Amino acid sequence: MTNPVILELKDLTMQFGGVKALNQVNLSVKKGEILALIGPNGAGKTTVFNVVTGVYKPTNGEILFNGSSLKGKSRHRITKSGIARTFQNVRLFGDMTALENVLTATDVHNKSGLMGAMFTSPRSRREESASRKKAQEILEFIGIANRSDQLARNLPYGDQRRLEIARAMGTNPQLLLLDEPAAGFNPSEKKALGELIVKIRNSGYTVLLIEHDMSLVMDISDRVAVLDFGEKIADDLPKLVQDNPKVIEAYLGVPADAS
């Protein structure tokens, strides 16, 4: 049985002045898969993430999450609906501990509110206890539980990257958007990251991944979609995409059969 579609982009267009960063892009992400979104620099990959998460309002087109439109929803409401992301550049709260960084994400679903937190209502205390337990479990899952009391700015770069993923997971997402998570990693770190992403998928998450390291993409992806100049030029199994003449031309700048 085919997995249901969790995210669907229909004729998605994002225009900045006279430039179309995305031009009628159609893309579906199936529940439980790792879908890699690749393409040359400036192809529109991060624009897709920004439109899906509410940073940009699309010029045209539709975004459906679990069959419901995200049109007009705020970034906060999109996060609460079950979509979380990381960024190309690490964006942590440097003066908070690793645990506190994840706790900022778990607060998305707490119901006690500001007044309850200020006056430490019973609900607030229960939610805080549950959030701390969950945050610690996520850090354990990600592999940095031993860093939970360290300030984020003092963590090694690789652990900061992992902490960003942990914080995104703290919002209890169904769909996790990872924007170049292997940036700055050495080969052994990339291998470990690939294993972690597969572990995340196998734990029930769906992953949409932007990544420039093609060996990592080909190793862990169930499917690969390719953008070039804001248009989708391929969407298939990794091996078939790797051999696609349009994809080769987009990356090399010459036709695949050129001598």
Per-residue pLDDT tens digits for 44-102:
999 999 999 999 999 999 999 999 999 889 999 999 999 999 998 888 999 999 999 99
Question: 227 and 158, same structural domain?
Answer: no
Residues 117 and 145 in one domain: yes
Q: Which residues contact 91 (CB under 8 A, 6 or more apart)?
A: 164
pLDDT of residue 190: 95
Q: Is 197 helix (H, G, I), strand (E, B) or coil?
A: helix
Strands 34-38 and 206-210: parallel
Q: How far is CA 120 from CA 115, 127, 235, in A?
A: 8, 10, 51
Average pLDDT over residues 97-121: 69
255 and 216 within one domain: yes
* Averaged confidence pLDDT in the chain: 91
pTM above 0.85, yes or no: yes
The CATH number assigned to the domain holding 116 equals 3.40.50.300
What pairing do the DSSP bridges indicate for beta strands 231-236 and 5-16?
unpaired
**Which tokens sit at 134?**
């969950």
Domain boundary at 172, 206, 234, which?
Answer: 172
Question: Residue 118: is its pLDDT beyond 50?
Answer: no
Domain range spanning residue 168? 88-172
- Structural domain tally of the chain? 2
Q: Which residue, 172, 191, 220, sits at the end of a domain?
A: 172
CA torsion 37→41→42→46, rounded to 10°?
A: 40
Judge if 150 and 188 occupy the same domain: no
Residue 117 scores a pLDDT above 60: no
Alpha helices in the chain (DSSP H): 45-52, 75-81, 98-106, 113-118, 122-142, 157-169, 187-202, 214-220, 238-242, 245-252
Closest CA to 142 of 125, 130, 155, 129: 155
Residue linked to tokens 């029930």: 204
